[in-house]
């Protein structure tokens, strides 16, 4: 998985100088030394609730193709930035689903080659994946009070490598450059 992540970072961050990209590759390669598998999660959650934290027992809603509301109850990952977690009324959360619910190429998922999802191989997440297709806003007060009352728990926090994986995945999923046809249509549009 690490080799694929290194190639993935190299492909999506062309604006970084060749030297910086090379340095990043070397740093990531260090995790392979002696056959070690890199950790993407902290050994225990950070002191404060932070971006990328995995929490339990979150209700997600979405509208299905028949126009009806659907409700899922799963773990979730906080996407809101850490400073927003302290200051905003609503927090952005995406579901963390069991691998058994994934319909597709499991190898591509585990190598993080699919933009819509993120896989973390650490023990607390190895049987789960993050789904960026369902994005919900939830009251910050509700999450903080549920954590204080032990109605939900924090499973874990991302370490630096995991945090960069998250930023990379979010950048690609939400902000990658459009295809040339759409880009040219926008470029050549002139209001009447």
Instruction: Check which CATH number belongs to the domain holding 172 and give it.
Output: 2.30.30.110
Co-location of 135 and 170 in the same domain: yes
Co-location of 32 and 48 in the same domain: no
pLDDT of residue 167: 84
The low-confidence residues of the chain, meaning pLDDT below 50, are none
pLDDT of residue 87: 86
Co-location of 56 and 105 in the same domain: yes
pLDDT of residue 148: 96
Q: Would you say residue 188 lies in a domain?
A: no
Co-location of 170 and 76 in the same domain: yes
Does the reported pTM lie above 0.95?
no
Q: Would you say residue 91 lies in a domain?
A: yes
Co-location of 151 and 139 in the same domain: yes
Domain, as residue range, for 53 = 42-176
pLDDT of residue 104: 95
Q: What is the DSSP string of 1-37?
A: -HHHHHHHHHHH-TTS-HHHHHHHHHHHHHTTGGGPP
Co-location of 87 and 102 in the same domain: yes
Co-location of 12 and 51 in the same domain: no
Co-location of 27 and 68 in the same domain: no
Co-location of 55 and 123 in the same domain: yes
CA 150 to CA 140: how far, in whole Å?
A: 15
Co-location of 51 and 138 in the same domain: yes
169 Cβ neighbours under 8 A, 6+ residues apart: 112, 115, 118, 132
Q: Would you say residue 162 lies in a domain?
A: yes
CA 172 to CA 166: how far, in whole Å?
A: 10
pLDDT of residue 103: 95
- Residues across the chain: 192
Sign of CA dihedral 31, 11, 117, 81: positive
Co-location of 170 and 82 in the same domain: yes
């Amino acid at each position: 998985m690490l080799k694929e992540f290194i190639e993935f970072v190299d492909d999506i961050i062309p604006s970084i100088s060749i030297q910086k990209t090379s340095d990043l590759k070397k740093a990531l390669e260090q995790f392979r030394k002696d056959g070690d598998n890199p950790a993407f999660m902290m050994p225990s959650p950070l002191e404060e609730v932070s971006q990328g934290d995995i929490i339990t027992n979150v209700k997600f809603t979405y509208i299905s193709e028949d126009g009806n509301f659907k409700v899922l109850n799963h773990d979730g990952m906080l996407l809101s930035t850490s400073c927003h977690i302290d200051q905003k009324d609503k927090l952005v959360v995406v579901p963390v689903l069991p691998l058994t619910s994934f319909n597709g190429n499991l190898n591509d998922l585990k190598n993080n080659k699919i933009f819509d999802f993120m896989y973390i191989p650490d023990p607390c997440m190895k049987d789960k994946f993050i789904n960026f297709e369902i994005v919900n806003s939830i009251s910050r007060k509700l999450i903080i009070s549920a954590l204080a009352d032990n109605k939900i728990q924090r499973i874990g926090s991302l370490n630096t490598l995991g945090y960069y994986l998250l930023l990379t995945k979010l950048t690609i999923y939400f902000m990658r450059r459009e295809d040339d046809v759409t880009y040219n249509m926008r470029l050549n549009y002139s209001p009447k």
